[in-house]
Structure 1
């Protein structure tokens, strides 16, 4: 059920939003009879005054914290830039910090942001013991969104927004099978992490339905790991004729390693990445990838947070955006 807003109170009371606002501030400019009527409407609707948000609105702007697990990854950088530009249009400043996949550093950063009075926090979390930072955010009543990764299960307190990674895995795996692949490996992603399980799940689901044995090679989500670890393992097994990677960075490293070993991507082996960062369309052969519209996602997260702060609209516990496979030569085949 949608949380009542100040606009709902004004409509029900037959008054202007500014009059209701004056009542909320206990202004002497409003007659006592009018104030009593407004408070009665508030009680009937179940409206709760968000004083932190009101204080934010009364100033020229506000401060929002954004903590990203890995700003070196262009996928997360694009999200941060899109989010920051969207909230800046509404006179909010964003403090951006990189936790570098360190839950302890994430906790220290979040505590510092709370101490400096951020009005809200958006976290793409690092995994691991975080020093009880989500409990601290709850006690401090700081509106907090989890994005792209979920670290705390209490989505009623810390709403979560991401993409349908499972469907992305399905689309990519079906595409590779349609291109004639018989032995598809999934490479990258550390075991035991929810994000890894999500991105693998569609791949595993499709192969199980086709009666095909999966081949999972877990590991870091970096370009260096793709080049130095994944590529030699793929080269050593000529039965592998296709690969789906945990993300594009792993795949870009893998492509370089395969080419160095004389195994041409798109000709000798078919490849699909995940995220569709800008470089996918710029390498040779251009890399097929599961596209997550991360720029639009950043703008949508900004709009959701601003609605929460300014209008008191609590986000839904979980939201998943759709994804789309973008096929290119790395999986369609190189003809020249």
Structure 2
């Protein structure tokens, strides 16, 4: 028996995603007229006949976007998820959000469930670990998927990647700290075996190499608890270190507490720059200098990118890095004498 044409066949001939074909078949107002014409021509070419009765049973899932985040407890990721969800909502899409808590098994489970429930697209800030299973399942489903904030699967032609320019961020931070003539600058936090840690350290290594300063890396979890512990460790075992770039703001905020416990004044006795610019950075005392990643704007841009992919067939670039800037506050704003 000859195989009946499917929307996957239509999508292939039209050169767009099957999710976009579904939107056309549902008469979505979000699709451009030109895209509708391409789909209708492809339907005629492959002999596809739309079964509206069957499709109505699935219509509640059309326009549903899956958002999977590795750590929603971190305000950086929460702000990204919120801004993306609101931007999608403004365009008539619903978002289902899942937190994996850095567990690849949980990630595989929630992604599988989203695929079964017919999401039109997926946005993943992926967990590290057994990522092959998750992304292979997505590939089999033919679902448009973006990796954001961290790149885990190398197949960026299939799973495009976007993130702030982490290397530039640590480069700006290190050069800024150099201006206060530190004896030595540390990089604190981040697990050494993760690509995102290497990316956030890259500019730090580059800046130190420019002036011949020896780097010092204190690896650990990206948490307040580790930052507080790291401050004590530096005071006890490396008193010559008088400045630090932190993997993220949570580590930096923890260091503020750790130095306060030891009566060391951050901004005068020790200079700190965080990374991400979460809201709390400007509210703590002393206010935290940090690398601003514009994560809210980033979330909105990812929403626009995903919708252009779905509605217009515009596949994103394989890799996209967005701009960052240094925000100087009190933890590195006081200048010491040379």
Listed one character per residue, the Cα deviations across residues 78-105 of structure 1 (whole Å, up to 9, x for unaligned) are 0000000000011110000000011111
Deviation >6 Å, runs of 4+: 3-6
SS of the equivalent of 1:132 reads helix
- TM-score with structure 2 setting the length: 0.83
User: In the alignment, what sits opposite 2:218?
Assistant: 217
- TM-score with structure 1 setting the length: 0.83
User: In the alignment, what sits opposite 1:44?
Assistant: none
Mapped to 2, the partners of 1:169 and 1:234 lie a distance apart of 20
Mapped to 2, the partners of 1:238 and 1:156 lie a distance apart of 47
Indicate the RMSD between aligned Cα atoms, in angstroms.
Answer: 2.4
Alignment counterpart, residue 20 of structure 1, candidates 20, 24, 37 = 37
Mapped to 2, the partners of 1:81 and 1:273 lie a distance apart of 22
Mapped to 1, the partners of 2:293 and 2:208 lie a distance apart of 23
User: In the alignment, what sits opposite 2:146?
Assistant: 145
SS of the equivalent of 2:200 reads helix
Listed one character per residue, the Cα deviations across residues 126-157 of structure 1 (whole Å, up to 9, x for unaligned) are 11113611011001101100000011000000
1:18, CA displacement in angstroms?
8.4
Structure 1 residues 180, 156: closer, same or farther in 2, change over 3 A?
Answer: same
Structure 1 residues 19, 114: closer, same or farther in 2, change over 3 A?
Answer: closer
Structure 1 residues 314, 242: closer, same or farther in 2, change over 3 A?
Answer: same
Structure 1 residues 313, 233: closer, same or farther in 2, change over 3 A?
Answer: same
User: In the alignment, what sits opposite 1:108?
Assistant: 109
Mapped to 2, the partners of 1:332 and 1:22 lie a distance apart of 58
Mapped to 2, the partners of 1:205 and 1:17 lie a distance apart of 48
Structure 1 residues 166, 22: closer, same or farther in 2, change over 3 A?
Answer: closer
8 Å CA contact retained: 1:104, 1:130 = no
1:23, CA displacement in angstroms?
3.1
User: In the alignment, what sits opposite 2:317?
Assistant: 316
User: In the alignment, what sits opposite 1:294?
Assistant: 295
Mapped to 1, the partners of 2:35 and 2:197 lie a distance apart of 49
**Which residues in structure 2 correspond to 1:221-300 (within 5 Å)?**
221-227=222-228, 229-236=229-236, 237-300=238-301
SS of the equivalent of 1:252 reads helix
8 Å CA contact retained: 2:131, 2:152 = no
User: In the alignment, what sits opposite 2:27?
Assistant: none
Mapped to 2, the partners of 1:131 and 1:4 lie a distance apart of 26
Mapped to 2, the partners of 1:288 and 1:108 lie a distance apart of 38
Mapped to 1, the partners of 2:215 and 2:302 lie a distance apart of 35
Mapped to 1, the partners of 2:234 and 2:35 lie a distance apart of 66
Mapped to 2, the partners of 1:303 and 1:257 lie a distance apart of 41
1:322, CA displacement in angstroms?
1.1
What 5-or-longer segments of structure 2 have no aligned partner?
1-13, 21-32, 46-54
Mapped to 2, the partners of 1:121 and 1:260 lie a distance apart of 44
State the number of aligned residues. Answer: 297
8 Å CA contact retained: 1:285, 1:334 = no
Mapped to 1, the partners of 2:78 and 2:335 lie a distance apart of 31
1:59, CA displacement in angstroms?
5.8
Mapped to 1, the partners of 2:282 and 2:311 lie a distance apart of 39
What 5-or-longer segments of structure 1 have no aligned partner?
7-15, 27-34, 40-54
1:17, CA displacement in angstroms?
3.7
**Which residues in structure 2 correspond to 1:111-122 (within 5 Å)?**
111-122=112-123
